[in-house]
Amino acid sequence: MDRRDFILSGTAGAALAGLPLSAAAQARPKDVLVVANEFGPNSLDIHTVGANRPSYGVSWLVYDRLMTYGKKTLPDGRVVYDRNKLEPELAESWQMATDGSGVTFKLRKNAKFHDGTPVTAKDVKWSFDRAVTVGGFPTFQMAAGSLEKPDQFEVVDDHTFRVKFLRKDKLTMNDLAVPVPGIYNSELVKKNATPQDPWGLAFTRNNTAGGGAFKVEAFRPGQEIIYVRNDEWKSGPLPKLRRVIQRDVPNAGNRRSLLLKGDIDITFDLPPKDFSELSKEGAAVKVTSTPIENSMVYLGMNTTKPPFNNPKVRQAVAYALPYETMFNNAMYGRAAKLYGGTSPVKTVAWPQPTPYNTDLAKAKALMAEAGLASGFETTLSFDLGGATINEPMAVLIQEALGAIGIKTQINKIPGATWRSALLKKDMPLIVNRFGGWLDFPEYFFFWCYHGQNAVFNTMSYQNAKLDRVITNARFAESKLIYDSSVREMIQIAYDEVPRVPLFQPTMDVAMQKDVMGYQYWFHLQPDYRQLFKA
């Protein structure tokens, strides 16, 4: 690390906080980006149990995939990924089988891992075998595209790799371009594996084995992660940024202050209130906002235990919630409303508003019908990593539920352990946010409502009929069948209401005016490969 970079790291970087904008900007080279977030990755490997959202960003930068998505420019000038356009990354080309039975990829012959080892098809197969075998989120993500068994993946030669399709599934190719099927240096990981840990997950949690556009130069959990450009990267245009310093700054006020002083270049996890105010301070920084497709903030209820195993109780909760107050005082209007809609469901749009709205009389009547007119006690949990939204929302929910006799104790769970807590599926009531990477309603339902151990079915909801309808939508052979299935699955979910959709959030990013090239991605992590400074 040279002196110019050193002054941006550790205690020396903190000294810059008191400098005026011009001095801070002069001290930072144009090819160095400084980022501040509420919290950083808890793992360097998306395949490890409980890897959080910032870990997805590590995978995106450090590991290549066979393909990536193209981009499109919206009428207002915002640039977003294009779900309908797949482009080469590690694979320079691919050919679909004439009978639709699979796809063959031709790998770049000059691609190397960060340690200089050539990338071969055997690494691709090992990586795919790993993803479909380790269990949990990675394996379920692969299965969402009908990528389920190691024998689907075949090494033809050193630079030719074939995927055999189990069935006709429109999500298969798209699923190959998400962060999970990254390509690992198989020999490096195997050297650090054990009989108890055959896939080397303990090693890759704190070490990388990739060949992507950036290397991890330093990783200090809870403090910072530093990326340095891989100058030998061949799978795309070489990034203009040489180094990215991504710091954990838990206090939102501090992150905002650092941004306005010019001590950091970009932040993307401020509270909605801050983004609302910053968007009006056009002379200082710029703010870009994009609705997060296939995403919602919701209140989930564990359906495996009383009283939330009773649909009437769940409906009562849905009618008791203070939607408008939460929209104004927690979200500051920076979201789309997912309440106050019509019934029955008439469109396949997703997400779409539920028919629920604040109606305490109806909520109390449903509680009485459920035999719980006097109420009950429960626990409401939320992720401290998103406390700026979750905490005021939890307090408002607690107050509203109290009006119908439900006494809630608020449980604050640290962001680093929230994902692990979710996977246990034992919390009775939660405020959470989920977004589906592949922008199809049946994909969201496959993850969140399917009863066969769906990873993000955080409510443990079981409905055999809904499972069948989700499958019908995934593999529908006509638009008529597809549209009918999607409408039916939304109707069931809203009638049964194991989770109450609240809002469709926006992805808000604030940055210095000289930061260019920002593009919205479904995984909600900035792609540093595309950013540069004017």
Cα–Cα distance list, 165 to 181, 247, 517 (Å): 16, 42, 36
Tell me the CATH class for 295-507: alpha beta
Provide φ and ψ at 227, rounded to 5°: -105, 145
The torsion angles phi and psi of 451, rounded to 5 degrees, stand at -80, -15
Give residue 23's pLDDT: 62
> SS3 for 162?
strand
Residue 337: band (very low, low, confident or very high) from pLDDT cuts 50, 70, 90: very high
| pLDDT of 456 higher than 60 | yes
- Using the CB atoms, write b or e for 426-436: b if 16+ within 10 Å: ebbbbbbbbbb
Which pLDDT does position 19 carry in this prediction?
44
pLDDT-derived band of residue 385, with 50, 70 and 90 as boundaries? confident
Both tokens of residue 397? 């929910």
Distance (Å, whole) CA 332 – CA 74 = 24
Q: Where in the chain is the domain with CATH 3.10.105.10?
A: 295-507
Query: How far apart (Å, rounded) are the C-alpha atoms in residues 117 and 308?
Result: 54
pLDDT tens digits for 266-307?
998 888 999 989 988 666 899 999 999 999 999 999 999 999
Tokens representing 66 are 């066979």
Q: Please, are residues 217 and 228 in contact by the beta-carbon 8 Å criterion?
A: yes
Q: What type of residue sits at position 211?
A: G
The backbone region for 99, taken as left when phi is positive above 0, alpha when psi lies in -120 to 50, beta otherwise, is: alpha
* Burial status of residue 49 (CB atoms within 10 A of its CB: 0-12, 13-18, 19 or more): middle
Distance CA 517, CA 303 (A): 44
Q: Which residue type is seen at 163?
A: V
The separation between CA 40 and the C-alpha centre of its own chain, rounded to angstroms, equals 13
What does the pLDDT look like over 505-520, one tens digit per residue?
999 999 999 999 999 9
CA atoms within 13 A on the CB side of 475: 11
- In this prediction, residue 455 has a pLDDT band, given cuts at 50, 70 and 90, of confident
CB 296 within 8 A of CB 503: yes
Cβ proximity of 123 and 184 under 8 Å: yes
pLDDT of residue 16: 42
- The residue assigned the tokens 């959709």 is 501
pLDDT digit string, tens, across residues 222-278: 999 999 999 999 999 999 999 999 999 989 899 999 999 999 999 988 889 999 899
Q: Are 355 and 386 in contact (CB under 8 A)?
A: no
Domain with CATH 3.40.190.10 in the chain: 3-263+512-533
At which residue do the structure tokens 């989700």 appear? 470
CATH number of 3-263+512-533, picked from 3.90.340.10, 3.40.190.10, 1.10.150.20, 3.40.50.2000: 3.40.190.10
Residue 397 pLDDT greater than 80, yes or no: yes
Q: Across-strand partners of 516?
A: 532
Count the neighbouring beta carbons within 10 Å of the beta carbon of residue 268.
20
Residue 378 in contact with residue 410, Cβ under 8 Å? no
Contacts of 66 (CB under 8 A, 6+ apart): 89, 90, 91, 94, 105, 107, 124, 161, 176, 177, 181, 183
Helix (H, G, I), strand (E, B) or coil at 417: helix
Instruction: List strand residue ranges (DSSP E) for 292-358, in order.
Output: 295-301, 335-337
Give Cβ neighbours of residue 71 (< 8 Å, ≥ 6 apart). 79, 80, 81, 82, 85, 519
Count other C-beta atoms under 10 Å from residue 491's C-beta.
16
Q: Kindly state the average pLDDT of the residues 408-432.
A: 92
Cis peptide before 344 (omega within 30 of 0): yes
Window from 8-22, 91-105, 156-170 with minimum mean pLDDT: 8-22
Helix axes 136-143, 121-133, angle to 10 degrees: 110
Per DSSP, what are the bridge partners of residue 68?
87
Q: What ranges make up the beta strands (E) of 415-513?
A: 429-435, 499-511
Q: In degrees rounded to 5, what are phi and psi of residue 497?
A: 40, 60
Residue 87: count of CB within 10 angstroms of its CB = 13
**Element holding 26 (H helix, E strand):** helix 21-27
Evaluate if residue 13 carries a pLDDT over 80. Answer: no
Rounded to an integer, the average pLDDT of 161-189 is: 97
Instruction: Give me 68's structure tokens.
Output: 């990536």
Dihedral-angle region of residue 191 (phi above 0 means left; psi in -120 to 50 means alpha; beta otherwise) = alpha
Return the SS3 of 381: strand
Residue 4, pLDDT score: 43
Query: pTM here?
Result: 0.87
The mean pLDDT value for 511-532 works out to 96
The H-assigned helical ranges of 350-439 are: 360-369, 387-402, 415-424
Confidence of residue 525 (pLDDT cuts 50, 70, 90): very high
